[in-house]
């Protein structure tokens, strides 16, 4: 509202276009709305369509971003692509909520002695680290811009956007994890490890291909972004650690251990924000990438401390294999100078085949993935997987 009232003053001070300002306001408003609507869906525990909504919205953002950037739309194209995600998510979530309300014929009362206190404790544990994290993430390109200029900031921004696109697969699983784990009376720790495992299965084969073919991927955005190759590699390295931290965060939230949620979030966010001011002036956009990665490592260490405190078993063998096997295959493809698209398909295909062969990916894991799909999709997918399972002679 302040930006609307002081719109002309903001335009004069910052020298930005009125259209850019209006789209920014739309981005702010719909981001808030989509977050609130998503919370309603999670609270209803009817989250079957939530992963689909997130995937569709994120895919639309990525596709629009690539098209607009390649067409030379500049800053306007970038912010337009970012705005598509919350706008589309808000619309789809609203439709989903209307459907949920229509089919809900009974209501239940949850007994909470002090709802204000309970909601405040639960929300602050997530909100405070989220705010610090958002500030830390946005500080990256801002500090790079202030110390190195627009070119370096643009290189870092594109590399970070690509890394975020890969990690969005992980966020889909984690979004569903909290309400599912909260409903369990027993087996929450096993469920949390399965969430971590599925997150790794969905991200590591893709991230491994991007790490060893980062130059080819950034070349798609233009030759000017090739300098971000090392930045993208550094940003992708901590994804397995982030999967563990996020899984432990979801488990702590399900247990109601809000201090642990707060500890994991702040352990990653505060060092990340502080390191930007130390490393960026020295190393530029690479320093920003290392700041982000080091913050993720510290958050991972805190997650391990929390895991030890609650006696959560981390299966290190699975963690190493699920992380390093795709990396080894992608490295081999890169060493042999295989085409980027052929390499990506080969890395993903061989990784999942070996995961199945040596039971790192089990039938139950696949069934859990299928369960998050809508009923009309899960049926055909399950039948197709059953046929594959027969051909694999039981390994599936």
Each residue of 292-324: pLDDT tens digit? 999 999 999 999 999 988 888 888 888 898 889
Task: Answer yes or no: do 77 and 141 share one domain.
Answer: no
For the residues 53-65, what does the mean pLDDT come to?
81
- What is the C-alpha separation between 146 and 152, in angstroms, rounded? 10
Q: What total number of domains does the chain contain? A: 2
Spatial CA neighbour of 123 closest among 39, 21, 195, 25? 39
Same domain, 298 and 174: yes
pLDDT digit string, tens, across residues 349-383: 898 888 877 777 676 666 665 554 555 555 665 66
**pLDDT for 195-212, tens place per residue?**
788 888 888 888 888 899
Q: Judge if 84 and 149 occupy the same domain.
A: no
- Is 346 inside any structural domain? yes
- Comparing 220-229, 279-288, 318-327, which segment has the lowest mean pLDDT? 220-229
- 118 falls within a domain: no
The domain containing residue 182 runs over which residues?
132-360
- Where among 52, 80, 100 does a domain terminate? 100
Examine the domain organization and report whether 93 and 158 are in the same domain. Answer: no
Share of the chain above pLDDT 90, in %: 10
Same domain membership, residue 208 and residue 63: no
User: Does 196 reside within a domain?
Assistant: yes
* CA–CA dist 295, 268 (Å, integer): 4
Whether residue 325 sits in one domain with residue 199: yes
- The residue count for the chain: 396
Nearest one of 141, 133, 128 to 270, comparing CA atoms: 133
Asked if pLDDT for residue 81 goes beyond 70, the answer is yes
Indicate if 87 and 216 belong to the same structural domain: no
pLDDT at 68: 78
pLDDT band at 328 (very low <50, low <70, confident <90, very high): very high
pLDDT in tens, 127-184: 766 676 666 666 777 778 777 777 787 788 888 878 887 887 777 666 666 666 666 6
Whole-number mean pLDDT of the chain? 77
Could you tell me the pLDDT band of residue 390, with boundaries at 50, 70 and 90?
very low
When pLDDT is cut at 50, 70 and 90, the band that residue 234 belongs to is very high
pLDDT at 121: 63
Q: Kindly report the pTM of this predicted structure.
A: 0.71
Mark whether 256 and 329 lie in a shared domain.
yes
Q: Is residue 335 part of a domain?
A: yes
């Amino acid at each position: 509202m302040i930006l609307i009232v002081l719109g002309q003053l903001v335009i004069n001070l910052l020298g930005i276009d009125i259209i850019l300002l209006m789209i920014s306001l739309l981005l702010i408003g719909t981001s808030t709305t989509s977050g609130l609507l998503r919370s309603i869906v999670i609270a209803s525990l009817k989250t079957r369509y939530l992963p689909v909504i997130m995937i569709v919205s994120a895919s639309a953002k990525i596709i629009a971003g690539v098209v607009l950037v390649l067409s030379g739309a500049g800053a306007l194209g970038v912010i337009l692509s970012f705005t598509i995600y919350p706008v589309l998510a808000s619309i789809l979530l609203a439709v989903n909520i209307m459907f949920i309300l229509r089919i809900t014929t009974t209501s239940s009362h949850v007994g909470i002695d002090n709802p204000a206190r309970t909601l405040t404790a639960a929300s602050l544990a997530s909100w405070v680290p989220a705010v610090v994290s958002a500030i830390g993430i946005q500080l990256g390109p801002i500090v790079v811009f202030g110390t190195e200029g627009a070119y370096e900031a643009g290189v870092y921004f594109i590399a970070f956007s690509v890394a975020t696109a890969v990690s969005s697969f992980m966020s889909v699983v984690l979004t569903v994890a909290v309400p599912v784990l909260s409903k369990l009376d027993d087996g929450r720790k096993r469920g949390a490890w399965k969430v971590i495992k599925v997150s790794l299965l969905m991200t590591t084969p893709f991230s491994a291909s991007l790490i060893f073919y980062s130059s080819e991927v950034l070349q798609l955005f233009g030759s000017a972004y090739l300098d971000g190759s090392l930045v993208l590699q550094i940003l992708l390295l901590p994804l397995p650690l982030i999967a563990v931290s996020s899984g432990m965060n979801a488990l702590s939230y399900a247990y109601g251990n809000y201090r642990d949620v707060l500890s994991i979030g702040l352990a990653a966010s505060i060092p990340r924000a502080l390191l930007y001011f130390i490393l960026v002036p020295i190393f530029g956009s690479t320093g920003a990438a290392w700041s982000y990665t080091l913050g993720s490592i510290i958050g991972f260490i805190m997650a391990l401390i929390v895991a030890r405190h609650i006696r959560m078993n981390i299966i290190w063998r699975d963690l190493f294999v699920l992380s390093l096997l795709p990396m080894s295959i992608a490295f081999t493809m890169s060493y042999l100078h295989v085409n980027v698209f052929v390499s990506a398909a080969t890395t993903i295909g061989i990784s999942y085949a070996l995961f199945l062969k040596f039971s790192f990916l089990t039938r139950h894991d696949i069934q859990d993935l299928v369960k998050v799909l809508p009923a009309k999709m899960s049926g055909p997918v399950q039948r197709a997987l059953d046929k594959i399972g027969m051909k694999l002679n039981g390994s599936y």
